[in-house]
Amino acid sequence: MSETHHLYEHTSAKDVQWESLSFTERAVLCFVFEGERVLLIHKKRGLGKGKINAPGGRIEPGETALEAAVRETQEEVGLIPIQPQECARLHFLFTDGYSLHGTVFRAFSYKGTLRETEEATPLWSPVSSIPYDRMWEDDKLWIPHLLEGRYVEGFFIFDGDTMLDAHVVTGTLLPPPR
Ligand SMILES: Nc1nc2c([nH]c(=O)n2[C@H]2C[C@H](O)[C@@H](COP(=O)(O)OP(=O)(O)OP(=O)(O)O)O2)c(=O)[nH]1
pLDDT tens readout for residues 133-178: 999 999 999 999 999 999 999 999 999 999 999 999 999 999 887 6
Kind of pairing between the strands at 52-53 and 120-126: unpaired
pLDDT score at 21: 94
What is d(CA 174, CA 146) in angstroms, rounded to the nearest whole number? 9
Q: Which of 135, 140, 125 is nearest to 52 (CA)?
A: 135
pLDDT score at 47: 84
pLDDT tens-place string over residues 86-133: 999 999 999 999 999 999 999 999 999 999 999 999 999 999 999 999
Work out which ligand 1 atom sits closest to the CA atom of 100.
Answer: 8
pTM for the model: 0.94
SS3 assignment, position 53: strand
Torsion of CA 60, 113, 54, 26, to 10 degrees: 10
Work out which ligand 1 atom sits closest to the CA atom of 60.
Answer: 28
Cα 28 to ligand 1 centroid, rounded to whole Å: 8
Which residues line ligand 1 at a C-beta cut-off of 6 Å?
A: 27, 29, 46-48, 53, 56-58, 92, 100, 102, 136, 138-139
Cα 118 to ligand 1 centroid, rounded to whole Å: 15
Domains and CATH numbers, the chain: 4-10+23-173 (3.90.79.10)
Lowest mean per-residue pLDDT among 3-7, 18-22, 128-132, 167-171: 3-7
Cβ-contact 163, 90 below 8 angstroms: no
Q: How many residues does the chain have?
A: 178
What is d(CA 126, CA 83) in angstroms, rounded to the nearest whole number? 22
